[in-house]
Structure 1
Amino acid sequence: MTKVALAIYDMDKTVTRRATFTPFLLHAARRLAPWRLLLLPAVAVTSLGYALKLYDRARLKELNYRLLIGHVPPDRLEPVIQSFADEQLRANILPGARERIAHDKAAGRRLVMATASYRLYAAAIAQRLGFDDVIGTEQAIDRKGRVLARIDGANCYGAAKHDMILAWLEQEGLDRGALHIRFYSDHVSDAVVHHWADEAFATNAHQRLIDVARTEGWEVLDWRK
């Protein structure tokens, strides 16, 4: 039986040169409410709180989104998302990532982005790159239809990313045994997904992941060069 081929990509520092979350917050603040840039010292304080382990990554995201964007209706947020995605495509996508994405697509693989970034804007970037599906951190919506800082469900990071990929497979009616899965990521937090995939690629990786990749026999790629 021929297996269905998937290629799953992390986004930040795997497909992109730089992380996207803080640039998105700044981009949105400048366009929606420039006065919020005065709150940047408070953002620095939240980062210190995270460094001191007062809260986790998910809470850090929520705090900083609340400070720099707040609760915004989708119709106001959408143009900001689209302009940010255009900006990322112009200046923040690694050429090697573009080439591998095109190669996987030409080979008939279903392209899936699985990212800890908010799906809100990751989906716009993924759509421009030709991805078929996006798994990302979701946000809650209030009764007025405004997009909230609060994460709806789990932050799509580490073991939670693996769980969310499995939930997505079930939602799509895809049987793991009938799939051949490639996975690309730069960070050791995604090693659980690397282990689970049929082909694992440590991509633009930091040293900890490179060390794991060498032990496990995963291919090491560097699209930054």
Structure 2
Amino acid sequence: MGQDQPRPEVGPPAESPVRPPPVVAFDFDGTLTVRDSYTAFLKWRAGPWRYAQGMARLIPAALAYLFHRDRGRIKAAATREFLGGVPRQVLEADARAFAERFSRSLLRPDAVAAWKRWRGERVRLVIVTASPELIVAPFARGLGADALLGTELAFDAQDRVVGGFGTPNCRGPEKVARLKAAFGPDLELRAAYGDTGGDREMLAMAEIKGYRVFKGTPQGPA
């Protein structure tokens, strides 16, 4: 009789990697909201007289924008004018108060309805915005966002706003860079929603491209 052939070792079946849920990305200003939330926040916080004074001092920066067309630079100038020196804790409290007062008059009802429909799917819902994360954070928490990717304010050693940004302005290609940094270079972007050229690159990589699809007007008090 011939010798028995050695049997191959049989172990537990290899576990197939579980693919993470796809991402659905919403721009914030003009998409989830009817207008720019950061401008509205600065105007509300400053009050009419202080806001008018600040805007007058920003005229040179506005004129320079006509040549350089860098939205990040003019936004940084506005941040220095209206928020320079403000402690982080004070700003966070103001952002919460702003969201509590104005969310009903800022958020588009049809955009929120779409957000809630996606919440019923196996996806990760993300807000990707050029506005400062700190200002949008209370809205993101209220919506139950899985992540918020935005422009980060810069703070000094005493945790006060210095007037610049700690990250590049989260607009255009930076939106794609931030998504890939957060979810990996091979993320599956199931859908993306935006309303300006600053969302073009994000929309281009999405399976469902929602450009200016939300038109709803809020019914809440202004």
Band the TM-score falls in, shorter-chain normalisation: 0.7 to 0.9
Describe the shift of the 1:199–1:35 C-alpha distance in structure 2 as closer, same or farther (beyond 3 A): closer
Cα RMSD (Å) of the superposition?
A: 2.1
Structure 1 runs of 4+ with >3 Å offset = 34-37
What residue is the counterpart of 2:206 in the other structure?
197
CA distance in 2 between counterparts of 1:222 and 1:132 reads: 21
List aligned pairs for 1:148-167, cutoff 5 A: 148-167=162-181
TM-score, normalised via structure 2 length: 0.82
Select which of 56, 60, 67 maps to 1:41.
Answer: 56
Name the structure where helix makes up a greater proportion of residues.
1
Q: Is the 8 A contact 1:36 1:67 kept in 2?
A: no
Specify the structure having the higher radius of gyration (Cα): 2
Question: Is it true that 1:89 corresponds to 2:103 in the alignment?
Answer: yes
List aligned pairs for 1:63-212, cutoff 5 A: 63-170=77-184, 176=186, 179-203=188-212
Percent identity reads: 27
Give the Å deviation of 1:20: 1.3
Give the Å deviation of 1:181: 2.1
| Structure 1: runs of 5 or more not aligned | 204-220
What residue is the counterpart of 2:36 in the other structure?
19
CA distance in 2 between counterparts of 1:47 and 1:199 reads: 36
TM-score, normalised via structure 1 length: 0.81
Describe the shift of the 1:77–1:185 C-alpha distance in structure 2 as closer, same or farther (beyond 3 A): same
CA distance in 2 between counterparts of 1:121 and 1:64 reads: 14
Higher RCO (Cα < 8 Å, 6 or more apart): 2
| Structure 2: runs of 5 or more not aligned | 1-17, 218-222
Paired AA for residue 42 in structure 1? R
CA distance in 1 between counterparts of 2:41 and 2:166 reads: 19
